[in-house]
Chain A
Amino acid sequence: GIQVEQSPPDLILQEGANSTLRCNFSDSVNNLQWFHQNPWGQLINLFYIPSGTKQNGRLSATTVATERYSLLYISSSQTTDSGVYFCAVLNAGNNRKLIWGLGTSLAVNP
């Protein structure tokens, strides 16, 4: 089945720094989402981005479907950005199972 790999697994930033998180996937996808799981455990949708680029405030994401990767950019990081960032994809086809990466654990220090 499709494999989803995220990097780096862990990241520590000083407040105000920028970062790029990467998600590689091994097959064609028709759905890619980025989620943030905050320290209280809530899973929050960040982007639905099967292709192209989207921006939402300090966050932006780019998916290059032909090259099978997606990037999540966090600019001017804040302590509230801490948590785990997950990438999840849906294979092209009828199966609705999201395939999840293991996540990038981000800690932003004041």
Chain B
Amino acid sequence: DAGVIQSPRHEVTEMGQEVTLRCKPISGHDYLFWYRQTMMRGLELLIYFNNNVPIDDSGMPEDRFSAKMPNASFSTLKIQPSEPRDSAVYFCASSRTVTEAFFGQGTRLTVV
């Protein structure tokens, strides 16, 4: 199994631009999670999906953030417009119903 695959690994963008982060979960996993990690706030859960349906998006910081999961093998996290304070490492993770979560390698986002 290839594990959770995220792209891009690194993204540098200018303030105001749209940023799209992508995630392919492990096949057969029915939960998908988006996290953000910063030095100041640690790991924060942004949103999670179950069977492609968003279950809890209470961690999404504001309306500039949106996430979709059009099918079981693909999810996106979009920031529009991006701001410097969005700079962080964004992780995607997936799991089966009651077992452990596996993380992708993360996308390091820098907004200048």
Contacts and interface: CB of A to CB of B under 8 A. Distances in A.
A33 B102 CA distance: 10
Interface of B: 31, 33, 37, 42-43, 45, 48, 50, 55-56, 89, 91, 93, 95, 98-103, 105-106, 108
B45 A97 contact: yes
A61 to B, nearest CB: 12
Given A41-B89, A41-B108, A96-B50, A33 B45 contact: no
27 contacts: A31-B98, A31-B99, A31-B100, A33-B100, A41-B37, A41-B106, A42-B103, A42-B106, A43-B93, A44-B103, A45-B100, A45-B101, A45-B102, A45-B103, A96-B31, A96-B33, A96-B48, A96-B55, A96-B56, A97-B45, A97-B48, A98-B33, A98-B45, A98-B101, A100-B42, A102-B42, A103-B42
Nearest to B99: A48
Interface size grouping (class) on chain A: 10 to 19
A31 B31 CA distance: 15
Interface of A: 30-31, 33, 35, 41-45, 48, 86, 88, 95-98, 100, 102-103
Nearest to B50: A96
Given A98-B45, A98-B101, 14 more contacts: A31-B99, A35-B103, A42-B103, A42-B105, A43-B103, A45-B100, A45-B102, A48-B99, A48-B100, A96-B33, A96-B48, A97-B45, A100-B43, A103-B42
Most buried by B among A33, A44, A88, A96: A96
Contacts of B93: 43
Contacts of A95: 56
Contacts of A41: 37, 89, 105-106, 108
B9 to A, nearest CB: 10
A97 B48 CA distance: 8
Contacts of A35: 103
Nearest to A40: B105
A46 to B, nearest CB: 10
